[in-house]
Structure 1
Amino acid sequence: MLVKWIRCTVVDRRGFERAQRKWAGLLGEPGFRGQGGGWSRTRPDVAHVFTFWESRPFYDSFMARSHDRLAASQVGTYTRSRAKLFEHRFDVKTGFEPRFTDADVVRVAHSRIHQERVEHYALMQEKVWNPAMAGSPGMLRGLFGEAPGHEFLVLSMWRSAAEHGKYRAERVERLALRTQIEADVAALTGDVVDLETAWTV
């Protein structure tokens, strides 16, 4: 599965939201698996959108055919947009599905890892971070994705921001020490996203 993560700095919030609903046109596209997104909790002008495709060829075909038509109505509503593609490597918890209807927030963490530490980092995600996150009340599902250049995405869906906050307060510092994450990570950014129901496709 392919994951596309888009971040936009929005200047016309109402226009952006109105245009975001038009992405319902993705339904019926070959290989399309789902889309959802919302607003950053820390930066009210930043929108995040997550789109899922069965494979790269399906995605490339969509980009060549239908993308520009669907995107046209959003032009002018944002000043900056960054998009990145990740290949699904493994699930956080089991049976990941790109469903957004039962989640209130998504936590996204984007890391660039030192080349010589990539295998250690991936192993720690699988053996330490995943079980800790999967065992947290309110954590619904998630995935671990990889992009060229030793870049990784951890995407987790939570029933509420409060439950995600509890996990952060109780576990993250301890786990960071245990997994030597500071030695692995060259750069790390992240955000918590309040999901907008109307953006779900």
Structure 2
Amino acid sequence: MLVKWIRCTVVDRRGFERGQRTWAGLLDEPGFRGQGGGWSRGEPGVAHTFAFWESRVFYDSFMARGHDRLAAAQSGMYKDLRVNLFEYRFDVKTGFVPEFTDADVVRVAHSRVHEDRADHFALMQQRVWNPAMAGSPGMLRGVFAEAPGHEFLVLSMWQSSAERGKYRPGGVARLAARADTERDVEELTGDVVRLEPTWTV
């Protein structure tokens, strides 16, 4: 499964949200599995979208044929567009499905990892981070994915921001120490995204 993460700064909010509805056209695309997104809780005006495709072949076919027609509805309404593609590696918790209707927030963590520590980083995600997140109240499901250049994406869906808020500083610091995260990670960025139901496809 291919995971696409889009981040941009919106300059025309009403127009952008109106244009977001045109992405319902993805439902007719072969290999499309689901899409959702919303607004950053930490950076005003920043929008995130997450899309899932069965494979890179289906995604490339869509990009060559139908993408520009759908994207035209939001032309000029954003700046600083960043698009990242990742290949699914494993679930965070079990039974991941790309559905957004039962979630209120998504936590996204993007790590660039030292080359010689990539295997260790993935192993610690499975042995340390996944069990901790799976055991957190309100955590619904998530996905761990990888891109070339030792980049990793951890996407987790939560019932509410209040529930996600319980998974915080003290516990995270202990987990990071156990996983030896500091030695693995070269750069870590992340955000908490408040999902907009009307953006779900």
Name the structure 2 match of 1:32. 32
**Can you list the C-alpha shifts for 1:25-63, whole angstroms capped at 9, x where unaligned?**
000200000000000001121000000000000000000
CA distance in 2, matches of 1:25, 1:140: 27
What is the alpha-carbon root mean square deviation over aligned residues?
0.6
SS of 1:187's equivalent? strand
- How far did residue 80 of structure 1 move? 1.4
- How far did residue 169 of structure 1 move? 3.5
Name the structure 2 match of 1:183. 183
CA distance in 2, matches of 1:131, 1:69: 42
**Can you list the C-alpha shifts for 1:6-40, whole angstroms capped at 9, x where unaligned?**
00111001100000111000002000000000000
Letter in 2 for 1:112: R
CA distance in 2, matches of 1:169, 1:139: 17
SS of 2:107's equivalent? strand
**Can you list the C-alpha shifts for 1:52-99, whole angstroms capped at 9, x where unaligned?**
000000000000000000000101100110000000000000110000
- How far did residue 188 of structure 1 move? 0.5
SS of 1:33's equivalent? strand
Name the structure 2 match of 1:195. 195
Displaced runs of 4 or more, over 4 A: none
Name the structure 1 match of 2:81. 81
Name the structure 1 match of 2:128. 128
SS of 1:97's equivalent? coil
CA distance in 2, matches of 1:6, 1:86: 11
Query: Gapped runs of 5+ residues in structure 2?
Result: none
The 5-angstrom pairing of residues 24-173 of structure 1 reads 24-173=24-173
Q: How many residues align?
A: 201
CA distance in 1, matches of 2:171, 2:20: 35
Letter in 1 for 2:132: A
- How far did residue 170 of structure 1 move? 4.6
- The percentage of counterpart residues that share the same residue type is 76
CA distance in 2, matches of 1:107, 1:180: 21
CA distance in 2, matches of 1:20, 1:101: 16
CA distance in 1, matches of 2:182, 2:54: 33
SS of 2:43's equivalent? coil
CA distance in 1, matches of 2:18, 2:71: 12
